[in-house]
A = this chain, B = another copy of it.
């Protein structure tokens, strides 16, 4: 059995080909290919599987559709790009409620101005939804590989809300089943957390702002802050020292450090970069720490931490 990242590493070596200057293929949030002399085309695809990425007993098919679209758009956000077009392919059993699935897909498509222009529908035993998106960048996109020692590390906002939202849903479901099917009582459980889980927001405006400000490296938090910061370090050849982590209201520190699918953006920028103008009208990013010269450094509040996250197995 091979972990997901070892498998991707193997494919990356295997599929490596000479690229045009500035092109980036496998190994970043999105692939970067030249579309015209002064513009880059971004290409990204994400797959969401019913029962794996979304527990359909806890959230709806519309939420799964939203998440599939949001996950791909978040890859465009992490390059500092703007959305182009989307292709949606749905493999699933007969009887799958396509209308409800497309409620979520269309809602995200409309909100983030990324029209669905095609795709495929096919039967399969599991529900597997793939969204492939294009994006545009009129300057150089922000890669994972550009961080340098001394760069400051920023995050677009508090972390852990999506993981906490899943926990809230699981607690509610278990409370319901403990009462042998009695209705859930009116709950004051934090709806904002549930919404962060079921309707995660790709940070497109923030990604473009970070690129405009001069970010040196960027990634979206899909595997968890520590795991994703680890990806930046591997690609950039730097380490990290994190001084503090902003935790979303109602989330735990572990959820903020390890929880995936917040789709917050983590980026690095030279100390001289000012974010104020580029983030005008947006929430100002929160300082996490600094990139260090030793690529083995993985420090959180002075303690060494493990950056390995959960991986699919092959």
- Knowing A33-B85, A85-B31, say if A118 contacts B43 (CB, 8 Å): yes
The tally of residues in A whose CB lies under 8 Å from a CB in B reads 60
- Given A36-B35, A123-B52: A89 touches B45 (CB 8 Å cut-off): yes
B4 near A121: Cβ-Cβ < 8 Å? yes
A124 at the B interface (CB under 8 A)? yes
Name the residue on B nearest A90 (C-beta).
B47
Determine which of B106, B115, B124 lies in contact with A49 in the assembled complex, contact meaning CB atoms within 8 Å. Answer: B124
Distance to closest chain B CB from A254 (angstroms): 23
A125 lies within 8 A of chain B by Cβ:
yes
Q: How far is the CB of A145 from chain B (nearest CB, A)?
A: 15
Asked if A47 contacts B106 (CB within 8 A), the reply is no
A94 interfacial by beta-carbon distance below 8 Å? yes
Q: Is the CB of B52 within 8 A of A117?
A: no
**Contact flags A133-157 to B (C-beta < 8 A → 1, else 0):** 0100000000000000000000000
A132 nearest in chain B by CB position: B132
Known: A118-B25, A314-B121. A44 touches B87 (CB 8 A): yes
Residues of B within 8 A of A33 (CB): 84-85, 117
In the bound complex, what is the Cα–Cα distance between A109 and B17 (angstroms)? 11
Known: A128-B124, A128-B126. A115 touches B25 (CB 8 A): yes
Q: Is A300 an interface residue (CB 8 A)?
A: no
Please state the number of chain copies in the assembly.
2
Task: For residue A211, give the distance in angstroms from its CB to the closest CB of chain B.
Answer: 19
On whether the beta carbons of B115 and A47 are closer than 8 Å, the reply is no
Q: Quick check: is A187 within 8 A (CB to CB) of the other chain? A: no
On whether the beta carbons of A91 and B43 are closer than 8 Å, the reply is no
Contact A43 B117 (CB under 8 A): yes
State whether B314 touches A96 (Cβ < 8 A): yes
The interface residues of chain B lying within 8 Å CB-to-CB of A47 are: 89, 91, 120, 122, 124, 128, 130
Residue in chain B with minimal CB distance to A314: B98
For residue A192, CB closer than 8 A to chain B, the reply is: no
Chain B residues within an 8 Å CB radius of A14 = 102, 106
Min CB gap A152→B, angstroms = 28
Q: How far is the CA of A31 from the CA of B88 in the complex (A)?
A: 12
**Cβ of A180 < 8 Å from any Cβ of B?**
no
Q: Which of A7, A14, A125 has most B Cβ within 10 Å? A: A125
Contact B30 A118 (CB under 8 A): yes
Interface flags, A36-75, vs B, CB<8A=1, else 0: 1000010111110101110000000000000000000000
Report if A282 contacts B (CB, 8 A). Answer: no
* A95-111 interface with B by 8 A CB criterion: 95-96, 98-99, 102, 106, 109
30 pairs, CB–CB < 8 Å, chain A vs chain B: A1-B95, A10-B99, A14-B106, A15-B109, A15-B115, A15-B116, A25-B115, A25-B117, A26-B117, A28-B118, A30-B118, A33-B85, A33-B117, A35-B36, A35-B41, A43-B132, A44-B87, A45-B88, A45-B119, A46-B120, A47-B89, A47-B124, A49-B123, A52-B124, A91-B91, A94-B313, A120-B130, A121-B314, A123-B313, A124-B126
